[in-house]
């Protein structure tokens, strides 16, 4: 048993060793904010200017490119210099192109404002891209290109498979409004039967034992009638398992049942509906039924809501039919949980709730393009245990990580592939 418990940790260690990380300390230095501890190495990756932005030089001319986000949405501020002396922004024409993971290009033009050039538009999160800067001044053209990544890592397909990483395509779903309830599994009335003597008399034979499976019509007892002294056979009224044996050979059969039979494949779950929810529960609604350890889940319809309330707690009983084959994981008498879908509405874009992670001050998922994974900061709407509506930060059709996202987040955080806000 010990060797099995160690396997997930060994796989995790092997996976983390296989990750090829693309660090992005360069992005961090452009924000104009204080550095986090442990990121001193990023400081040496490029020259910073007086406004804590990235210095780009071409001979005597230079520009300082920074992303300003102090109380406003992130935007570019650019300062120009000649021989390290400030140049009026009116003397410079500037464009910036940001090529993001997946090939999308954001283009920015600039207008003079005070002593700097202000970018037209918001620099959307994540601030992770290949940067191209083109400037014109004094009849000369200058061009720079560099990488500025954050929240990004790469991983081979083999390493992803070893780490249990799975992905899906983001798109529209039907989002259900859920009410959670507790209940228990019971055998349906049709799945239960009691075996009684047709006429009073002595039991001459009993051919079925406790736990034995019998079929409908199979002879399971013989009784000698006290009136006619003739012996007649008693067949099983339903197919199922003998769950009670209340008599023995030689006993006198009367009103008491000789056997009780139950069909373990005919099951329903009985849920306790409190008065505040009673008006919203209807026959036909879908219910996700789970065992208490949440290792088994099935979806089944509400079969009926009984009209009488319990005198003690005023609850109603809702019957949820369990499909054939449920007896392999759900047994009579087991406690269960149920999520009743009382309303449903389509949403244009949603992701699996289990895919959500925390990154800096954002709730995120990790998009995948080839062997590269990158953070996507999300604006969220309604949420259920299975799905969360996405209002912004992710495009339909993007492949994102549903399982194993914590491994990617841990590797990005370990690499320092982030910036302060």
- At 337, which CATH number? 2.40.30.170
Q: Are residues 48 and 137 in the same domain?
A: yes
Q: Are residues 183 and 291 in the same domain?
A: yes
Determine the pLDDT at residue 40.
34
pLDDT in tens, 203-227: 999 999 999 999 999 999 999 999 9
The yes-or-no verdict on residue 237 having pLDDT over 80 is: yes
Backbone torsions φ then ψ of 347, nearest 5 degrees: -125, 150
- Rounded to an integer, what distance in angstroms lies between the CA atom of residue 49 and that of residue 87? 14
Q: Are residues 44 and 127 in the same domain?
A: yes
What's the CATH code of the domain at 95?
2.60.40.3340
Q: Are residues 280 and 166 in the same domain?
A: no
Determine the pLDDT at residue 419.
52
Closest CA to 63 of 96, 24, 14, 106: 96
| Model confidence band, residue 291 (pLDDT cutoffs 50, 70, 90) | very high
The number of folded domains in the chain is: 4
Closest CA to 334 of 298, 291, 289, 293: 291
The yes-or-no verdict on residue 162 having pLDDT over 80 is: yes
Determine the pLDDT at residue 417.
52
The yes-or-no verdict on residue 6 having pLDDT over 80 is: no
Structural domain span for residue 335: 178-187+265-345
Q: Are residues 182 and 312 in the same domain?
A: yes
| Model confidence band, residue 314 (pLDDT cutoffs 50, 70, 90) | confident
The yes-or-no verdict on residue 35 having pLDDT over 60 is: no
SS3 of 35-49? CCCCCHHHHCCCCEC
Give the burial string for 61-93 (b: 16+ CB within 10 Å, else e).
bbbbbbbbbeeeebbbbbbbbeeeeebebeebe
- To the nearest whole percent, how much of the chain has pLDDT over 70? 88
Domain boundary among 230, 262, 294: 262
Query: 283 lies in a domain?
Result: yes
Q: Are residues 183 and 328 in the same domain?
A: yes
| pLDDT: which is higher, 310 or 166 | 166
Q: Are residues 379 and 356 in the same domain?
A: yes
The yes-or-no verdict on residue 416 having pLDDT over 50 is: yes
Query: 2 lies in a domain?
Result: no
Determine the pLDDT at residue 363.
96
The yes-or-no verdict on residue 30 having pLDDT over 50 is: no
Query: 399 lies in a domain?
Result: yes
Determine the pLDDT at residue 345.
87
Q: Are residues 205 and 350 in the same domain?
A: no
- Rounded to an integer, what distance in angstroms lies between the CA atom of residue 228 and that of residue 200? 10
| Model confidence band, residue 45 (pLDDT cutoffs 50, 70, 90) | confident
Q: How many CB atoms lie within 10 A of CB 404?
A: 20
Determine the pLDDT at residue 278.
87
| Model confidence band, residue 386 (pLDDT cutoffs 50, 70, 90) | confident
155: which DSSP letter?
Answer: -
Q: Are residues 131 and 230 in the same domain?
A: no
Query: 14 lies in a domain?
Result: no
- Rounded to an integer, what distance in angstroms lies between the CA atom of residue 258 and that of residue 253? 7
| Model confidence band, residue 27 (pLDDT cutoffs 50, 70, 90) | very low
The whole-number average pLDDT for the span 55-81 is 96
Query: 6 lies in a domain?
Result: no
The whole-number average pLDDT for the span 318-345 is 90
Domain boundary among 345, 373, 399: 345
Is residue 190 helix, strand or coil? helix
The yes-or-no verdict on residue 421 having pLDDT over 60 is: no
| pLDDT: which is higher, 34 or 69 | 69
Q: How many CB atoms lie within 10 A of CB 342?
A: 16
The yes-or-no verdict on residue 240 having pLDDT over 90 is: yes
Q: Are residues 62 and 126 in the same domain?
A: yes
Average pLDDT, the chain: 87
Determine the pLDDT at residue 28.
35
Q: Are residues 183 and 313 in the same domain?
A: yes
Q: Are residues 311 and 182 in the same domain?
A: yes
pLDDT in tens, 259-277: 999 999 999 999 999 888 8
Determine the pLDDT at residue 58.
96
The whole-number average pLDDT for the span 134-161 is 94
Query: 20 lies in a domain?
Result: no
Query: 366 lies in a domain?
Result: yes
């Amino acid at each position: 048993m010990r060797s099995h418990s160690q396997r997930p940790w060994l796989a995790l260690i092997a996976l983390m060793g296989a990750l090829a990380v693309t660090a992005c300390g360069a992005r961090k230095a452009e924000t104009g904010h204080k550095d986090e501890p442990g990121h001193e190495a990023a400081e040496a990756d490029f020259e910073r200017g007086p406004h804590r932005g990235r210095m780009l030089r071409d001979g005597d001319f230079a520009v300082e490119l920074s992303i300003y986000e102090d109380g406003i949405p992130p935007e570019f501020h650019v300062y120009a210099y000649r021989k390290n002396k400030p140049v009026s922004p009116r003397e410079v024409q500037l464009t910036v192109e940001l090529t993001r993971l997946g090939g999308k290009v954001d283009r920015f033009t600039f207008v003079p404002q005070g002593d700097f050039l202000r970018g037209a538009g918001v620099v959307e999160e994540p601030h992770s891209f290949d940067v191209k800067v083109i400037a014109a001044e004094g009849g000369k053209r200058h061009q720079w290109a560099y990488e500025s990544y954050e929240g990004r890592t790469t991983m081979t397909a083999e390493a992803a498979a070893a780490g249990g990483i799975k992905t899906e395509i983001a798109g529209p779903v039907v989002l259900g409004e859920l009410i959670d309830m507790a209940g228990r599994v019971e055998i349906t009335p049709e799945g239960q039967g009691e075996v009684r003597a047709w006429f009073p008399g002595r039991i001459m034979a009993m051919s079925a034992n406790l736990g034995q499976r019998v079929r409908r019509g199979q002879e399971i007892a013989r009784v000698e009638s006290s009136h006619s002294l003739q012996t007649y056979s008693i067949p099983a009224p339903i197919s199922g398992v003998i769950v009670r044996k209340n008599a023995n050979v030689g006993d006198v059969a009367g009103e008491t049942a000789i056997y009780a039979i139950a069909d373990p494949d005919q099951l329903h779950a009985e849920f306790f509906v409190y008065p505040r929810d009673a008006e919203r529960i209807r026959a036909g609604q879908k219910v996700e039924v789970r065992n208490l350890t949440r290792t088994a889940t099935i979806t089944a319809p509400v079969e009926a809501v009984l009209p009488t309330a319990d005198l003690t707690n005023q609850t109603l009983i809702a019957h949820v039919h369990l499909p054939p084959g449920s007896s392999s994981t759900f047994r009579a008498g087991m406690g269960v949980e149920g999520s009743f879908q009382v309303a449903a509405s389509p949403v244009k874009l949603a992701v699996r709730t289990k895919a959500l992670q925390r990154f800096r001050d954002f709730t995120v998922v990790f998009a995948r393009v080839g062997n590269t994974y990158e953070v996507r900061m999300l604006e969220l709407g309604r949420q259920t245990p299975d799905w969360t509506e996405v209002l912004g930060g992710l495009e339909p059709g993007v492949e994102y990580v549903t399982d194993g996202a914590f491994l990617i987040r841990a590797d990005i955080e370990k690499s320092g592939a982030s910036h302060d806000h």
